[in-house]
Every structure is written in structure tokens, then in C-alpha cells.
Amino acid sequence: MASPTREPAPNGGPIGREDSTLDRIGRMLMAASFAQPQGQQWFGDDAAVLGTPPEGSEILFCTDVAVEGVHGNFEFMSPQELGWRAASSTLSDIAAMGGSPWVMVASVACAKHASIDELMEGVVESAAAFSCPVVGGDVSEAATTMVSIAVIGHVPRGTAVTRSGAHAGDTVFVTGPLGGSAAGLAAFQRGEEQIESTLRNAYLRPVPLLAQGAAARECGISAMIDVSDGLSIDLHRLADASHVGFELTSVPVCSGATLDEALGGGEDFALVMTTSDPEGLRSGFEDQGLEPPISIGMITPEHTQRIILGESSSPMGWVHDV
């Protein structure tokens, strides 16, 4: 948290803007009414002291970064929404393993034109909505605003759902229609004044499907991934990890979106699942009061066979130029 490239703060002042910012953030966290369990020590020390995860569970760990101008543009997206997105996309990675979130930390690099309080408000809103307290963080000034979130989750030991377990003959499911986020962004970029709330929210307020991911794990599915970069590319990744092919016979497209947006738009944070027991998966979701997932195709044995709607498919979706 130091920066010797700058002059020391003047002697005699208060303990400094950064400390008062951290104090404000600390109050924001308390107001979000996370209950710090006895014996734990969150926020305010060098590291958070957390006890142990639930008996019989094992730990999941992941990180995601949201960058101004890449993952969101302040022309269309508020700092709160960038903070929400960073936290929610990281939580979606926990959902995609079938896990439960436990705690998160946030590193926020904040440009002059953004407000760290607003960025953190978005992070804390997501943290509160999905029961994953913010227990620590770091702040820095920067030329570009960036929010990086790391989440510790947990899952009953040995039950984490990876990308690599799909088998030939498994049915492929997705939790819902796709392309909403890309269509929402496109509408903002066209300068539309009345953007349908489904598309607007899909882009600005993505929701990690934690209940669906856990329900799918309980149904004994074989593999899962979240659609962060596009159904096409993410399904290719699942197939690569599982050494299988796939044939998609339908692609549910979000109302107002195009097929290309559904296949390649990304950031929908839907979950793609494969299972040898499609009926069990549907009824497992229904038993928990969840909208049943949509069957979209099959896993095939030949690794190089990748077919979407009758055509051979190459990965389509967003990849960073790094």
C-alpha cells in the first residue's frame, strides 16, 4: 500500500486520506450488516483472520478483474456497476464449480474521474446480495480504474464440478437464454434511450447463479462452466478440458438479442452443464424451485467434432489481446 514514487505526506496532518477512505469503507461494510463471527478479525489489519471453512468442505479460490474501458465504459456504466460486475463475475466462477461463496477481498485502483466510494458500494452490494462478506482490500490511485476481486468459496469435499468431466452421450444444458449482456451494450452504444430492462440489467447487473450451480452439483452433473466470454468459446473450453466434441441443436437467444450475440457476446454468466441424467437435473432444479435448465445439445466422442446448429464451429467469443 505504499508508494515511494511520491513525496511523503506532510508532517502534522491527519493520518491521511487513504486511512480515512479505509475508515469510510469499513463503515460501509458494517452498514451492510455482515456479522463478523466470534474469533474472526476482518478488515483493518494486515490480513483478515478467518477461522476455517465448514467441516467436510474444501476450499475454492478464484479472482477476476474489471477494467475501465475494457469490461465497462463509464459512458454507459457507473463506478458502482463496475464494482458490482467485478464482484459478481468472480462469484460466478464459484457458482461454476458448484460452490458456495465464503469471503472476498477487493483491490481497487481508482482514477481521478472515478469515486472509490462508488466503486466499493457496487462491490459491497454484490457481496451483500450473495452473502460473501468483504473482509479486506487494498486501494491505490491509478490512471485507469480497475477493480480486482478474489473470492474464497467452499464445496463439500470431492464434489467440485470442473470443466473436464463431460462424457460422450451427456446432454448439454444452459441455465437460460443468452446474448442479453451483449445486446444491452449494443443498445447503449447505439445511444438508445429506452433500453429494455432485461438487456440493461444483463449488461449492467449480471447475477452469479449460485443456487443453480449448487443445485446442479447436487444432481451429480459431469461438468460445468460459466458463460463469461461467449457460449461458443466457453463450450469449446469445456470440450477441450474434457477431450470430447459437442453438437448443439438449439441456442436459446435472449429476447432482443441476436444469435451471434448469444454465441459470441459473453458476460451472460449463464451456466453450461453436462449430465448423463437429464431428467434428474430438470427435476432437481424444480425441487428447489429453480427455473429448469434448457437442453441445447449433446456431448460427442470425437474431440474434433464441434457442431453448432448443423455447422462446424470454431471458438467464437471474446479473448483478451494480451
User: According to CB under 8 A, which residues from 256 to 275 bind its own copies?
Assistant: 260, 264-267
Question: Of the candidates 29, 87, 94, 166, which one interacts with its own copies according to CB under 8 A?
Answer: 94
**Which residues make Cβ contacts (< 8 Å) with residue 85, sequence separation at least 6?**
66, 71, 72, 77, 122, 204, 206
Q: Using the rule CB under 8 A, is 30 a contact of its own copies?
A: no
Least distance in Å: CB of 141 to its own copies? 5
For residue 121, state whether it binds its own copies (rule: CB under 8 A): no
- The SS3 assignment for 134 reads strand
Scanning residues 185 to 204, which ones bind its own copies (CB under 8 A)? 185, 203
Counting beta carbons within 10 angstroms of the beta carbon of residue 312, is it exposed (0 to 12), middle (13 to 18) or buried (19 or more)? exposed
- Closest to its own copies by CB, 187 vs 283, is 187
d(CA 227, CA 248): 15
Q: Which stretch, 47-55, 124-132, 244-252, 273-281, contacts its own copies (CB under 8 A)?
A: 47-55
State in angstroms the smallest separation of the CB of 124 from its own copies: 15
Considering the complex, what minimum distance in angstroms separates the CB of residue 279 from its own copies? 26
Give me the least distance between CB of 252 and its own copies, in Å please: 18
Phi/psi-derived region of residue 238, left when phi > 0, alpha when psi is between -120 and 50, beta in every other case: alpha
Taking the least distance from each CB to its own copies, the nearer of 39 and 289 is 39
Per CB under 8 A, does 29 bind its own copies? no
Gap between the Cα atoms of 315 and 212, Å rounded: 25
The interface mask with its own copies, positions 219-248, x = CB under 8 A, is -----xxx-xxx--x--xx--xx-------
In DSSP notation, 272-288 reads EEEES-HHHHHHHHHHT
CB nearer to its own copies: give 2 or 289. 2
Contact call for residue 144 and its own copies (CB under 8 A): yes
Q: Is 138 a binder of its own copies (CB under 8 A)? A: yes
Residue closer to its own copies, measured from CB, 81 or 267:
267
Contact between 172 and 296 (Cβ < 8 Å): yes
Among 132, 146, 204, 273, binds its own copies (CB under 8 A): 146
User: Which one of residues 31, 37, 131, 164 is an interface residue with its own copies (CB under 8 A)?
Assistant: 164
Which 282-311 positions form the footprint of its own copies (CB under 8 A)?
none
Q: Residue 228 CB: number of other CB atoms within 10 A?
A: 22
End-to-end CA distance of the chain: 26
Q: Judged by CB under 8 A, which stretch of 28-36, 37-45, 247-255, 275-283 contacts its own copies? A: 37-45
How many residues are recorded in the chain?
A: 322
Angle (CA) 228-89-62 rounded to 5° is 100
CA distance 314 to 308: 9
C-alpha–C-alpha distance, residues 74 and 113, integer Å: 9
Give the nearest distance from C-beta 106 to its own copies in angstroms.
7
Of positions 33, 35, 38, 46, contacts its own copies by CB under 8 A: 46
With contact defined as beta carbons under 8 Å apart, do 271 and 213 qualify?
yes
